[in-house]
Amino acid sequence: MTTVRNLNTEQSTGSQKFRLGPGLLITAAFIGPGTVVTASRAGAEHGLHLLWTIFLSTLGAIILQSLAAYVGIAAGSGLGEVLRKWLKGSPWFGIAASLVVCALGIGNSAYQTGNITGAAAALQTLLGGETRWWCGLIAAVAILVVSLPNYKWLQTVFVALVAVLSLSFLATALLCLPDAQTETVAAEGQTFSSESLTLVLALIGTTIVPYNLFLHSSGAAENWQGWEPTVAFRQALKDTFFAISLGGLVTAAIVVTANSAFYIPQEKLDSIGGIARQLEPTLGKSSSLLFSLGLLAAGVTSAITAPLATAYAICGILGWKSTFGSAQFRSVAYIVIVVGALLATVFGAAPAQTIVFAQLTNALLLPLVAVFLIWATSRFQHIYRLPAWLRLLGSLVVVLVSTLAMWKLVQIFV
């Protein structure tokens, strides 16, 4: 008879001390130039009134990413492999495989352009020079990191990059905290509108994304390979809560910065490359430099995690070797980096049609992956039983992300 383990059961950890897992990769993935722009717009256009959205999206991300880590630990493989194993031979497999390849392969190649150009814009603000040369440098750095010999080296790199990212944005926010009287005056007349609803959905959409579920499950499978499931999942919960909460705090810090620089003095927000330069007259040179440094770290980390997530997902669902460092894995990651770099240097941005296609496929993929994730957790209860409340919260988040996806589709076609 199979013994079912429960979260409340006391287990001996032995010599398995806590260590950081793939949580920081997820933080690095969703705090990219897109999040910086969205959070800056929220602060510039609505002050601090949308901070509740960041709390909500962070909580939803913690729940879904924890479930993704659970599936990776229980299955010993990523979500892509689990999808292939259970859907292969069914008519749904072709649809699932096509969506994964289109949304993450083609889509992330387009989004990679934003990651690279965002980091390049930050370098141009800090050091001057031509953006296209900085784009080439960022792409070269991403290829170098993807070529690291093992997963442990990758984790070390991301601990350093996320530290730079977090400290830069948090320090910028501390330098420009508004006083209570100023914020009260600025808040007069603030009302909820359809425009703020669009930003609410955008903030949630930059935090809860389908490729992070693939990235987290595969990272958890590699990080805690051979560990006792009870101990591994407890560590995964701590790791996920710490890392995603840090990401939410950083996003909130960007909103606070934009609130002080743009909303209170009623200044117009410029392009992503101009945000840091616009901070200097209002908040001082130190704030401008710190924000640029944070944007650089955000662009670099996302330029690395997007290809990694794409490689894990595509290799897993197509039955290719999906371990970090394998030839097939690196080939997929390299393609995403190179295509994104070419679009950034030749066009300055991905073609509009490609971005729309990426948004469409991601909007379709997000609810499907989230639903499959909840279903997958029920299939591993004999290995490790999740608390009912966690799965219930996961189901509620699925409803949220499905609503978000449907809204995105409406925006694309209407």
For 341-390, write each residue's pLDDT tens digit: 998 888 776 666 666 667 667 777 888 889 999 999 988 888 888 888 88
3-state SS of 250-295?
HHHHHHHHHHHHHHCCCCCCCCHHHHHHHHHHHHCHHHHHHHHHHH
Q: Tell me the per-residue pLDDT of 233-262, one tens digit each, with 9 for 90 and over.
A: 999 999 999 999 999 999 999 999 888 888
Helix (H/G/I), strand (E/B), else coil: 188: coil
Q: What pLDDT score was predicted for residue 66?
A: 96
How far is residue 163's CA from residue 28's CA, in Å, rounded to a whole number?
10
Q: What pLDDT score was predicted for residue 178?
A: 62
How far is residue 206's CA from residue 199's CA, in Å, rounded to a whole number?
10
Strands (E), 271-355: none
How far is residue 6's CA from residue 219's CA, in Å, rounded to a whole number?
23
Taking the domains of the chain in order of start, what are their residue ranges?
23-180+190-413
Superfamily for 23-180+190-413?
A: Amino acid/polyamine transporter I (1.20.1740.10)
100-109 mean pLDDT: 86
Residue 76 has pLDDT above 60, yes or no: yes
**Number of separate helices (H) and strands (E) present in the chain:** 17, 0
How far is residue 299's CA from residue 122's CA, in Å, rounded to a whole number?
9
26-34 mean pLDDT: 90
Q: Tell me the per-residue pLDDT of 202-222, one tens digit each, with 9 for 90 and over.
A: 888 889 888 999 999 999 999
How far is residue 311's CA from residue 82's CA, in Å, rounded to a whole number?
15
Q: Tell me the per-residue pLDDT of 362-375, one tens digit each, with 9 for 90 and over.
A: 777 888 889 999 99
| Exposed e or buried b per residue across 177-205, where buried means at least 16 C-beta atoms within 10 angstroms of its C-beta | ebeeeebeebeeeeeeeeebeebbbbbbb
pLDDT band of 149, cuts 50, 70, 90: confident
Using only the alpha carbons of the chain, give its radius of gyration.
21
Strand-pairing partners, residue 385, are 6
Residue 82 has pLDDT above 50, yes or no: yes
Q: What is the pTM of this model?
A: 0.88
321-347 mean pLDDT: 90
Q: What pLDDT score was predicted for residue 190?
A: 52
How far is residue 407's CA from residue 404's CA, in Å, rounded to a whole number?
5
Amino acid present at 87 = L
